[in-house]
């Protein structure tokens, strides 16, 4: 029968009980991708020859409730009696094993590159919508973590490592600042998220004084900025590395 999943988002950019449409779409899409890839992996391992319809039904994700006063999303995973063999619960068992792997930064030994890609996508979606995220369910103890603090590099990936080329300049609103990791996110004028790794403040006496302090970048949060640095285009969108940042 269908299983349940509860996602709690704390300290995100929106008020408690609210989530912007773009963040919700990214989060639901990442969860659906991960559950679908888990179901395909399980069927390939234990039930070879099962139809694609069985996989889709066992991994189908439905938003069935939002708690008032807090950003809590309740999902149903799978449909009742897809196989009569408990595949729905096996999907959520594997999902929470991966969630614990994210929490502990230790991927399960059976993690494939496709599953690793989906786990990193989920971390990115959770980071977009929260500072702290909690995932749980009626059969699972809740796991809470700060998605922005967790390593992506430890997960197997299907694509080659990113390469950075010529510098590009992006103008947009500074949407998020992670001082510990030196990463910021800019929402550009076209509405796309641009991740900037290793930001370097440009000399701006009005903002940084004579001794630029990277922590001062947080003072630009929510403002229009210009970032320039070596660029990488990939499945996760545009990234800049070692970029300078200044007021627009």
Residue 83 has pLDDT above 70, yes or no: no
Higher pLDDT, 230 or 200: 230
Q: What is the mean pLDDT of the chain?
A: 81
pLDDT of residue 111: 94
How large is the average pLDDT for residues 19-38? 88
Sheet holding 71-77, edge to edge: 61-67, 71-77, 3-10, 132-137, 140-145
How large is the average pLDDT for residues 212-229? 78
Do residues 88 and 58 make contact, with C-beta atoms less than 8 angstroms apart?
yes
DSSP assignment string, the chain? --EEEEEEEES-SS-TT---HHHHHHHHHHHHHHHHHHHHHHHHHHSTT--HHHHHHHH-EEEEEEETTTEEEEEEES-TTSSSS-HHHHHHHHHHHHHHHHHHT---TT--HHHHHHHHHHHHHHHHH-SEEEEEETTEEEEEE-GGGS-STTS--SSPPP---SEEEEEEEEEEEETTTTEEEEEETTS-EEEEES-EE---TTTTTTS--GGGGGGGTTSEEEEEEEEEEETTEEEEES-EEEE-
pLDDT of residue 51: 60
Q: Please give the Cα distance from 239 to 233 (Å, whole number).
A: 7
User: Positive or negative CA dihedral for 126, 127, 128, 133?
Assistant: positive
pLDDT tier at 205 (50, 70, 90 boundaries)?
Answer: very low
Q: Please give the Cα distance from 36 to 9 (Å, whole number).
A: 23
Q: Please give the Cα distance from 121 to 115 (Å, whole number).
A: 10
Q: Which of 141-155, 176-190, 228-242 has the highest mean pLDDT?
A: 141-155
- The closest of 201, 220, 218, 223 to 210, measured between CA atoms, is 201
């Amino acid at each position: 029968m269908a299983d349940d999943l509860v996602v709690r988002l704390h300290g995100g950019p929106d008020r408690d009980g609210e989530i912007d449409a773009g963040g919700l779409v990214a989060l639901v899409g990442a969860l659906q991708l991960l559950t679908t890839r888990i179901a395909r992996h399980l069927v390939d391992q234990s039930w070879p020859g099962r139809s694609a319809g069985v996989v889709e039904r066992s991994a189908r994700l439905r938003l069935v409730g939002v708690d008032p006063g807090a950003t809590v999303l309740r999902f149903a995973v799978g449909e009742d009696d897809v196989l009569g063999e408990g595949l729905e619960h096996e999907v959520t068992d594997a999902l929470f094993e991966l969630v614990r792997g994210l929490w502990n930064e230790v991927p399960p030994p059976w993690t494939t590159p496709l599953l690793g890609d989906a786990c990193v996508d989920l971390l990115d979606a959770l980071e977009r919508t929260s500072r702290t995220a909690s995932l749980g369910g009626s059969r699972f103890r809740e796991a809470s973590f700060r998605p922005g603090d967790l390593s992506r590099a430890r997960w197997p990936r299907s694509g080659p490592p990113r390469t950075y080329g010529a510098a590009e300049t992006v103008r947009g609103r500074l949407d998020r600042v992670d001082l510990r990791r030196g990463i910021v996110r800019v929402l550009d004028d076209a509405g796309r998220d641009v991740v900037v790794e290793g930001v370097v403040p440009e000399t701006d006496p009005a903002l940084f004084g004579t001794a630029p302090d990277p922590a001062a970048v947080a003072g630009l949060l929510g403002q229009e900025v210009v970032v320039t640095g070596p660029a990488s285009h990939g499945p996760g969108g545009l990234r800049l590395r070692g970029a300078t940042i200044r007021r627009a």
